[in-house]
Amino acid sequence: MTDIHVITSSNRHMYEDAIEQHHRIRHDIFVEERGWNALYRPDKREIDAFDTENAVYLLAIDNSRVVGGQRLCPTIHPHMLSEVFPHLAQRGVPRGPDILEWTRYFIVRERRFGRTDWRLLAAVQEYCLEEGVVALTAVVEMWWLPRWQQAGFRIRPLGLPQKIEGEETHAAMLTISSETLNFIRRRAGLKNPALVRHGPQLPIPHQQLA
């Protein structure tokens, strides 16, 4: 059974092996498979400037094995869109205590066709609804659009696409809603909540921008 575990700075000590697995899988997928060579590290662990104590990881774990995951970062702190890709958001970079950035979504190769994907998509909506988050921002290739639409996500482009690493890439804002979560659950036949929470759970940072 695959569960989606919520991992924050407050319970990360309980998931040291899972976090290590996930960094190595990210390197396998984003560097070795997709060719994002700027992310290469000799230790084969993909870690960037936004893997901070503020990051929240939603990891799909099956019998102690990480099979998928995603990262959420508060937009009130420096994040990928604000620091690396602000030129993709010609309409401005949305920031606020109730907006998170959604990055580093991955699924291991043998699980890409099945429920793991739907569980992760349900999990991000479920987590945000529980935490009072109203929207996500993301920088993705254009082929994500039909995938999001298939899952019932409501999407607002933040600017025109530009070519990055040979792919047409754009910044978008996605609305969080119970309607989308229910749509995903019906579409995938998911009857139970997606999230597992172990240990202490601190809320995401809600302080205002300085």
Mean pLDDT in consecutive groups of 10 residues from the start of the chain, 210 residues: 94 97 97 91 96 97 96 98 97 97 96 91 97 98 94 96 92 98 94 87 51
> Residue 148 is part of a domain; what is its CATH number?
3.40.630.30
Residue 80 pLDDT: 98
Residue 166 pLDDT: 86
Residue 122 pLDDT: 96
Residue 201 lies in a domain: no
Residue 67 lies in a domain: yes
Residue 202 lies in a domain: no
Q: What is the CA radius of gyration of the chain?
A: 16
In single-letter form, the type of residue at position 197 comes to R
Residue 165 pLDDT: 82
Residue 204 lies in a domain: no
Residue 201 pLDDT: 66
Look up the domain containing 7 and give its range. 2-196
Going from the C-alpha of 124 to that of each of 86, 88, 194, 210, the distances in angstroms are 23, 23, 9, 27
Residue 204 pLDDT: 59
The total number of structural domains in the chain stands at: 1
The DSSP H or E segment spanning 66 is: strand 65-74
Residue 158 pLDDT: 97
Residue 106 pLDDT: 97
3-class SS at 110? helix
- Angle, to 10 degrees, between the axis of helix 178-188 and the axis of helix 115-131? 160
Residue 207 pLDDT: 44
Residue 28 lies in a domain: yes
Residue 140 lies in a domain: yes
Residue 209 pLDDT: 41
Map tokens 């970062």 to a residue.
Answer: 73
Residue 210 lies in a domain: no
Closest CA to 116 of 125, 106, 102, 126: 106
33: alpha, beta or left? (left if phi > 0; alpha if psi -120 to 50): alpha
- Whether the CB-CB separation of 150 and 188 falls below 8 Å is answered with no
Residue 209 lies in a domain: no
